[in-house]
Structure 1
Amino acid sequence: MALSVLGTLAVSVCHAGPPTLTLYTFESPPYQMSAQTADGVANVVGETVDTVTCAANQAGWSTNIRLAPQNRAAHSLSRNLIDGYFAIDPSTELDITAKRSDPVSLEKWYLFNTEPGPIPATARIGVVDGSNEKAWLEANGYNIFLSVSSPSQLPALLRRGRIDAALMDERTMSGLQHMEGTGYNELNAHFLRYAPLYLYMSENFTANNPGFISSFNRYLPGCMEGQITLSAEEDKRIRQLAERLFSELDSMLDLQQAIDAGPRLETLADVLTFDSMWQARAPEKATDLATTILELPGSRTLNAWTHTHPELVTEALLSNNMGTLVAMSQLTSDYWQGDEPKFNAVVSNIRSGLTGLEAMYLSDIRYDASTSRFQVTVSAPVGPITDKLPKGVISLGLDIEEALANSRPH
């Protein structure tokens, strides 16, 4: 009998699945949208849905996601009728009662219009009712001329002259070009901002599961990998901006001299040993090697230069041909850059026959939790090429929103 009971319990445990999160979101293709399975069952799919589901699953939870109007979703969250609600702009009201995750999505908001040239301050702006865009406009003192129920209405209103500009996510508007008569390709696009969107968890859920948000956040970067990319036009603009920044920095600091003045380890074993010690103490405390590098003239110049671009440049790093740091604007999380794309991609480009700024590397967009900003990394070779290796590599971290605001389309 005892064995029988134990067997029954074992079967029950084996069949017990992970706990389920009840989450609301709203219709916003391609991020969140309704779809039907082959057997006709309604389902919620999309890129942000995949991200949230992925991070929740790795944190030990399954998800039950439903679409709901944003006002109803916020109401349900504040009254603990659901576990969570995504993907929304930061909300002062929700921050009082709910807990916010790191960003689960990043939208690119543009103002679209039919006339060339800048959009006047008095423009009649159209927006989707209940959207993140509308809430942001209201919070920042903009006058909203017209609210509509569906994104597809905005291009038609622009063509008929009912509004002067429409605020919308670039990919949402781009998706409308596949609909007959939207006239998307005839519209002029003016970048406004990158909008990080979040998952909010209810007060009751957070109280009962205090470790969920930190666990969820830990898995987010891997679940978002490759989903936030630059368009061809944005890539071109950032590269042109990077060229100007590299030129400006080169006029202030002799990069080759800074490489020669920096420390150099002779073996990979030494590099890995010092890198492990560095990572174990950073960013709270610097190792002796890190302190030595920070006190070098090259590091002080890099630090002073980044402060001339306080919102744009988040860090500047200079490494030698081994990929080890010889100068840095601030303490970094690791010493060896030779195992990272910011170094390896430049070397790979050189080995493919590219030289100078042609060998520049530009990363995808990533979220930096330490600064709460979305960034890209740009790297370029320094000095002469020997055995298909540059003398060193200079790398800059750029805030993506500031980078686009500081560049102009060509």
Structure 2
Amino acid sequence: MARPIAKLTALFVLAASTAQAGEFDTQMAAYLDSSVRGWASDPIIIQAITAQNATTASFDQAQIDGLDTSWRAQVGSSDASLIEPVITGPVADFLRANMAAAGGKITEIILMDAKGLNVAASGVTSDYWQGDEAKHADTFGVGPDAVHFGDIEFDESSQRYQAQISFTITDPASGAPIGAMTVAVEGEAFM
């Protein structure tokens, strides 16, 4: 019985805090700087984004929409030919290793290219194209130092409170934006 009461209490706390949007941004920024940025600029990340950008640079919106439609159709299907390369392999393993090292604070990681298409992810995402969402538009679309903090919200699929910290990934040599990363964090850690 204690668990439903705890969730109800957290819901009331969350409801009270949503009126003060951005209340936890300082804590999330500190977490980003102390626990994420170091590994988010690892060469494996930079190389993966750079390689995918070379492939997707010429994609138009129709191609992107087609890929996104294919991805959505493959979620939960035995044909996951578009999804599998994103959630398997060395880059996805690297993301999951850093997620595990966070001791439960990180619930999901998505790495995106310049178009907002998934490069790698810690698990299956609901869509392939993030370019129309704040996690990409308010980071890569803004510039090299851009960060977007999502509100702490109850996630139905994971049955927990979480927030998304999204930020631009830059080329270490030039400082130019090359992609973005979203790190979903356990919301209760910041409440």
* Corresponding letter in the other structure for 2:74: R
Classify 1:309/1:256 alpha carbon distance in 2 versus 1 (closer, same or farther; 3 Å).
same
Report the number of matched residues.
183
Which aligned pairs between 1:7-406 and structure 2 lie closer than 5 A?
90=4, 106-108=11-13, 229-231=21-23, 234-250=24-40, 252=42, 254-262=44-52, 264-265=55-56, 266-283=59-76, 287-350=80-143, 355-356=144-145, 359-384=146-171, 390-404=177-191
- Any gaps of 5 or more consecutive residues in structure 1? 1-88, 92-101, 110-168, 172-193, 195-225, 405-410
Q: In the TM superposition, what whole-angstrom CA distance separates every residue of 1:83-106 from its partner, at most 9, and x where no partner exists? A: xxxxxx725xxxxxxxxxx97982
The question of whether the paired residues in 1 share the 8 Å contact of 2:22 and 2:149 is answered with: no
Once residues 128 and 117 of structure 2 are traced to their aligned partners in structure 1, the CA distance between those partners, rounded to angstroms, is: 6
Classify 1:229/1:283 alpha carbon distance in 2 versus 1 (closer, same or farther; 3 Å).
farther
Once residues 165 and 75 of structure 2 are traced to their aligned partners in structure 1, the CA distance between those partners, rounded to angstroms, is: 23
Q: CA deviation at 1:229?
A: 3.2
The question of whether the paired residues in 2 share the 8 Å contact of 1:241 and 1:403 is answered with: no
Q: Which residue of 2 aligns with 1:219?
A: none
Paired residue secondary structure (2:4): coil
Identity of aligned residues (%): 24
* Corresponding letter in the other structure for 1:247: R
* Corresponding letter in the other structure for 2:120: A
Q: In the TM superposition, what whole-angstrom CA distance separates every residue of 1:174-220 from its partner, at most 9, and x where no partner exists? A: xxxxxxxxxxxxxxxxxxxx9xxxxxxxxxxxxxxxxxxxxxxxxxx
- Any gaps of 5 or more consecutive residues in structure 2? none
Query: Following TM superposition, where does structure 1 have runs of at least 4 consecutive aligned residues deviating by more than 6 angstroms?
Result: 102-105
Which structure's residues are more often strand, by fraction?
A: 1
Q: CA deviation at 1:107?
A: 2.9
Q: In the TM superposition, what whole-angstrom CA distance separates every residue of 1:347-379 from its partner, at most 9, and x where no partner exists? A: 4532xxxx42xx111011222111101111111
TM normalised by structure 2 equals 0.80
Q: Which residue of 2 aligns with 1:183?
A: none
Classify 1:256/1:236 alpha carbon distance in 2 versus 1 (closer, same or farther; 3 Å).
same
The question of whether the paired residues in 1 share the 8 Å contact of 2:153 and 2:162 is answered with: yes
Relative contact order: is structure 1 or structure 2 higher (C-alpha 8 Å, sep ≥ 6)?
2
Once residues 288 and 228 of structure 1 are traced to their aligned partners in structure 2, the CA distance between those partners, rounded to angstroms, is: 43
Classify 1:292/1:327 alpha carbon distance in 2 versus 1 (closer, same or farther; 3 Å).
same
Paired residue secondary structure (1:289): coil
Which structure's residues are more often helix, by fraction?
A: 2
Once residues 304 and 286 of structure 1 are traced to their aligned partners in structure 2, the CA distance between those partners, rounded to angstroms, is: 26
Q: CA deviation at 1:286?
A: 6.1
Q: Which segment drifts farther, 272-281 or 392-401?
A: 272-281
